[in-house]
Chain A
Amino acid sequence: MPGSTPASLIAEGPEVFRAPELVAGPRLSLRRQAWRRFRKHTLAVASLFILGFLVLGVVVGPLLWRVPMGAIDLSAMLQGPLLDHPFGTNGLGQDLLARMIFGGRISLAVGVAAMAVAVGIGVAVGAIAGMASGRVDAALMWLTDLFLALPQLPLLLLLMYLFRGALRAAFGDEGGIFLLIVVVIGGLRWMSLARLVRAQFLSLREKEFIEAARALGASRARLMLRHLLPNALGPVIVAGTIEVANAIIIESTLSFLGLGFPPDVPTWGHMLYDAQQYLDSAPHWALIPGAAIFLSVLSINFIGDGLRDALDPRRVI
């Protein structure tokens, strides 16, 4: 069982030999073990706080900072950070803090939603391939390799360009683009997860507890959902975390290239796009959203690394 959580349970010994009435016990202590390993990763813990602060700011921000993000004030154009505009203003005199809060909501939501899509597809493909083996497995893995060889960003840009209009018409400006971005990013990022889950399944399948479950007459579905998937979860959580960071970068890239959300929706990437013409007169306009993207991506990556130490202790990278 390479890298999955229960492997370390067995590896660590004593917990396994508990009396049956304490079955609920090891679960909790498993988690505690993982938390202990996570805590050792100082940067991951610090990142947890930074990310928590960012999420909190984005969620409660509008309640505390009531300046409307769309209010145009031409007398306060391109202002640097001052008391009444802590993050300064943009080319139309709009308050950047309010826009940052709104953009952060979108960026983080896109990251989490796109991760969910990628994990969903990846786990489904990987689980089916790992369970089925034979021809189905070969076909699914061929498909995975094919997707891995696709030029990602060009294809993303192409998809955004082609389907933007239709989805905006169908689901509205923000909703349509949100849906499109999430599906497109998720649909192009599931491959490594599929491979991971398949590899986990292939090794777990041969374990005694699976054989025991099969001998007890467990159906294939039960085998997969109840026995295989939970044991393969550790690495999936790690990969999923890092996928959130990737999705945030991809979304801001799309916005930066002008193919993300419509111009009136201030995402972090789009703010950078707007700001690049004013780099000499108003550098804060570009630096603040850029730093926000960097901080959230960095902290998510570190958390992912900490989770890897906690849940997937045998992998080196």
Chain B
Amino acid sequence: MFSYLIRRALTLLLVLLGLAILIFIIARIVPGDPARIALGPLATAEQVAEMRQEMGLDDSFFMQLWSYLSGLAQGDLGKSLLTSRPVMDDILGALPATFELVLFTIILQVVISIPLGVIAAIYRNTWVDNLLRIVSLIGVVTPGFVLAIILQLVAAYYLGFLPVTGRLEGSIDFSADITGLLLIDGTLMGRFDVILDAMRHLILPALALAAAGIGQVMRITRTAMIEVSSRDFVEASRAYGIPERVVTFRYMLRVASVAPLTILGLEFASLIGNAFIVEFVFSWPGIASYGVRTILQKDLNAVIGVVLVSGVFFVVANLTIDMLLGLLDPRHRLRAERDS
């Protein structure tokens, strides 16, 4: 197990290095002079030349790559043109909001989709199953931004009890300095008003973000449960007289949860991407709205930073899921060890 972890960590480093280099190359081969883009069309040729000097654009390609990578190793992503603060600070400031949204979304997905998938498997080919099939289909095919807008329309305007934008009501005086996550900091400091209000703000964006994953994971859980239900050990457990509830939720679900977990891992990563849309609609002050703002301003350093951080998220999420699967299913670990 230990050598497996080391080897996975090494692969992770390699992929991250490749990712950093690839993003750098893409940022450099796009047409247009980064200095010109940074200064706008009104800048004079001298100003552009000066900026090129300052940004190190006149050095050779490999020199630039080297200084970029060595900066990266020290956590330096350069300065944002939009906020004129270090990109790293901006991203670290926005990350907790996104992280809270994504974590809440994942919890929502697990809590909703896995039980529904199990129910669909138990009542397979009845009206319950068909109804759930339609629900999951709607979840998968509804574009995030359409769902976000419909949720805003229905829940906020017509029903009128859920806020449409932001993380917290302006009237609540609270700064989350411990972890940056409002729910956790609120709990730590015993501020129930904060927890409640943060929840109210989270529900709509998290639902909009969760829908696609809920549909997918529900279907996969159903398929996996049905497959497992025909295995011998299930029949054997029943023959021993173990209660049906225990057989279903303890024995079958453990084996069947491998497939949905894999999808959830992929889902976690793609959530960061989809958050771009949902954060935009709900004015959520996270990394994705920062990304959209900087992209619109052609703030190259910030864009590279945002893309890189999202990529790191993706890779780390995949690795985490891989290890979790290794714990749940020893065969997975062995297979991965053989492959690498």
Q: Say if A and B assemble together.
A: no
Q: Which residues of B contact A (CB under 8 A)?
A: none
Q: Which residues of A contact B (CB under 8 A)?
A: none
